[in-house]
Amino acid sequence: MICPVCGGRQIGKVGVEQFYCWDCCVEFNSHANKTVVVYDLEEDGTLIPWEDFYLESQEIMQAAAE
């Protein structure tokens, strides 16, 4: 698993199919065969989805394999 935003590998798992990037401080989910959604994490714990950032998980998996 790599971060879909920065491509970094400083990824922590925070839930089922939910991950956190320590480099850019965003959360994202990864559902097999579905789009990846990236969220900003507010100080109060609210997740704000990046409405314009949707990627095919297939691309993420390919990137992770390289």
The site for Zn ion (CB under 5 A) is made up of 3, 5-6, 8, 21, 23-24
Contacts with 12 (C-beta within 8 Å, 6 or more apart), sequence order = 19, 20, 22
CB of 2 to Zn ion, least distance (A): 8
**22 vs 34 by CB, closer to Zn ion:** 22
CB of 46 to Zn ion, least distance (A): 19
Tokens of 20: 């956190």
**1 vs 24 by CB, closer to Zn ion:** 24
Do the Cβ atoms of 22 and 9 come closer than 8 Å?
no
